[in-house]
Amino acid sequence: MEDTLKLSELLQYTSLMVQRTFSGFVWVQAEIASMSDRRHLYLELIEMDGAEEVAKCRASLWARDRYRVENKFKAVTGQALQAGLEVMLKANVEFHPRYGFSLNILDIAPAFTVGQLQIKLDRIRDRLQKLGVWDLQSRLLFPEVLSKVLVVTPEDAASLGDFQERIEVLGEHGVCEFRYMTATFQGKQAVPSLLRVLIEAQQMRSEWDWQVLVLLRGGGSVTDLHWLSDETLTRTICEYPMPVVTGIGHTRDQTLLDEVSALSLGTPSKVAQWVLDQALRAPLEALEHYHTILRCAKERLGQYTLALDSMHRRLTTEAREVLQERKHLLEQQMLQVIHADPQSTLQRGYALAFSGKERIPSRDQALQHNTFTLRFQDGDLEVKHEL
């Protein structure tokens, strides 16, 4: 058949058409599906429509351009190129009869990657807010006395050492217990790893009733942390039944997990300080109350001591005055008694009338006796009357 073409002829013709159609560079939006580093950087680019892959091709970043392109991207995003990122690439389109279609990368637009991440975050925020779960963590109450904390960190995380150094005093004195679990915080395994740990942590509460879950990582660039801004993971944290405290990155590097957690403190050192403050709050308040009670008791005791001293002085003075009055009264009464003594009466010039040993106190009684005796100071006188 005259219209029949060899495969090589067809592909060569296709290659010429591609060269004519795309004689210069083009800007291409795609997601990096995978990367292979062999001096030159080989990438597999894909386009996704929801969960469906709708396009795929190979791309190459030659060594002569690699240093410039990678450094440009890192200077803006703070992170190296990696799988999972949405990128905008400046590239030449190539079609080789044997090796097929590919892109030769010339440059990159880092701002596009950062912008795509922001669009993704906004979309997730909007959906979770419409579902009414966005602020569920903020409604949870922290325990009055913090005594059991579960910490989740990447394996061999450098930030964990600083955290443990700060809070070790709590464990040494039995103020607060800590247990640790590890999870992946970046890369494609970050979300499934963290979801698994969150489930295991909740199951652990049946044997160890921890009160607060702490996620520690210790910083990272915007793109390095994008793995954590996943809708499923974020919703899981939103709906988690226990308070979650994050120390994943600095304020400028916040993830969605920081935004929805019960408390976001940025760095592991700040989380450690918060744990110290919370765990020591009750003992310190109790100690403060003890000192307050002790001070009040001392003040009250001092007041009572002063009052007792004053009362003692007043009672002593009053007792002395009463005794003095009673003594004076008794002396007067004694004088009266002395003055009332018959002998004293005689000494004052009076006489006493007797009939035998019976004293005659009145004239009428004296008239009843023919004789009676008048006793004077210097002797007795017998008296007779004839009335």
Last residue of a domain, one of 108, 139, 173: 108
Query: How many structural domains are present in the chain?
Result: 3
pTM given for the model: 0.65
pLDDT for the residue 334: 84
Find the angle CA(369)-CA(373)-CA(375) to the nearest 5 degrees: 145
Q: Is the pLDDT of residue 252 over 70?
A: no
State the pLDDT confidence band at 155, using cuts at 50, 70 and 90. confident
Last residue of a domain, one of 282, 306, 333: 282
Residues 70, 156, single domain; the answer is no
List 28's β-bridge partners, or say none: 89
Which CATH number characterizes residue 242's domain?
3.40.50.2300
The dihedral through the CA atoms of 215, 217, 218, 219 has a sign that is negative
Residue 336 lies in a domain: no
State the pLDDT confidence band at 221, using cuts at 50, 70 and 90. low
Residues 27, 99, single domain; the answer is yes
Residues 151, 243, single domain; the answer is yes
Residues 264, 206, single domain; the answer is yes
Which CATH number characterizes residue 79's domain?
2.40.50.140
What is the per-residue DSSP string for 42-73?
Answer: EEEEEEEETTEEEEEEEEEE-HHHHHHHHHHH
Residues 68, 184, single domain; the answer is no
Q: Is the pLDDT of residue 222 over 60?
A: no
Please state, as a whole number, how many other Cβ atoms lie within 10 Å of the Cβ of residue 150. Answer: 22
pLDDT in tens, 161-188: 889 999 988 988 888 999 999 999 888 8
Q: Is the pLDDT of residue 219 over 60?
A: no
The whole-number average pLDDT for the span 352-367 is: 79
Domain span holding position 360: 344-384
Residue 113 lies in a domain: no
Residue 317 lies in a domain: no
* Sheet with strand 263-264: strands edge to edge: 177-182, 148-153, 212-216, 244-247, 263-264
